[in-house]
Structure 1
């Protein structure tokens, strides 16, 4: 059952989430944490079992055109080894994935006439990740391309400095603990 749901995604990714069609991670039928590489459309592409229009291939990373592009030239950069979340990547794959995304962004500016680039990662279901394989979106931007981000109503009311300092301290402490 899970496999058939994943395979359907090869033909059409989920529609852009809106308040009307978004399911919470608790109710969404497809669970990222249960996705296996043999059920992953990106792994199928990497193995040559599903078609893709590649823009880059090496021993660590592949990049290909998104079948549902947000803008002209929208590409996806993914590690060859199956990793669902960014935290699942080894350091080499993480660095190579972002290095190739950066390179393809520069190429898109030059060859496609993009005025800007968005590099976007949806890491986890609540972040709208719908393909269970880590990837970076390289989204060329053009004037009036219709793509935008929506900010929460609280965006224009920044948190107090003390709250920012407390969050920063917690992140520093966790970082120190993981590098010790």
Structure 2
């Protein structure tokens, strides 16, 4: 089994601002968010790309992505979300992950230029994670 940053977060070996964690996937705040509340959803099983995820796991995994998008919108009063994934090219960690980014009209995000921001500190990051966590509902597979 391969070990990477996301495997370590899923295993609880590395700290992260968790939004949810279950037997299928985990969601946590990106440490370099496009906008505050930017969540990464990763499968528990180590796979590098979407093509590597077993077919039986695709539906349950994307049910978690869908639940996360819903929770980001509700928990942060976002106007919408940007949901994206890279496979190999521009994939900063070689572990499948989906970006769920809160959006508002006229927020300045254009095309595929992803400016990054920072949280003021751990307390602010945890407050964003908590707001999303409170709105996250486990999908019924």
Aligned partner of residue 118 in structure 1, secondary structure: strand
Q: Under a length normalisation based on structure 2, what TM-score does the superposition of the two structures give?
A: 0.74
1:135 equivalent among 97, 111, 128:
97
Does residue 74 (structure 1) correspond to residue 56 (structure 2)? The answer is no
Find the partner of 2:68 among 83, 93, 104: 104
Deviation at 1:98, TM superposition (A): 1.1
- Residue 2 of structure 2 is matched in structure 1 by 37
Runs of 4+ in 1 over 3 A off after TM superposition: none
- SS of 2:82's equivalent in the other structure is strand
SS of 1:87's equivalent in the other structure is helix
Provide the C-alpha distance between the structure 1 equivalents of 2:21 and 2:48, rounded to a whole number of angstroms.
19
Q: Distance in 1 between matches of 2:41 and 2:63?
A: 10
**What SS class does the counterpart of residue 58 from structure 2 fall into?**
helix
Which of 45, 51, 55 aligns to 2:15? It is: 51
Higher RCO (CA 8 Å, separation ≥ 6 residues): 2
Could you tell me the TM-score, scaled by structure 1's length? 0.59
The Cα shift of 1:146 comes to 2.4
Structure 1 vs Structure 2 CA RMSD: 1.7
Q: 1:150 offset after TM fit, Å?
A: 4.9
Q: Which has the larger radius of gyration?
A: 1
Aligned residues: 113
**Long gaps (5+) in structure 2:** 114-141
The residue number in structure 2 matching 1:144 is 106
Please identify which structure carries the higher helix content: 1
Gaps of 5+ in 1: 1-35, 152-180
Alignment partners' CA distance in 2, 1:140 and 1:92? 28
1:93 aligned onto 2:57:
yes
Instruction: Give the distance between the partners of 2:61 and 2:25, measured in 1 at CA.
Output: 6
- Could you say what secondary structure the match of 2:57 adopts? helix
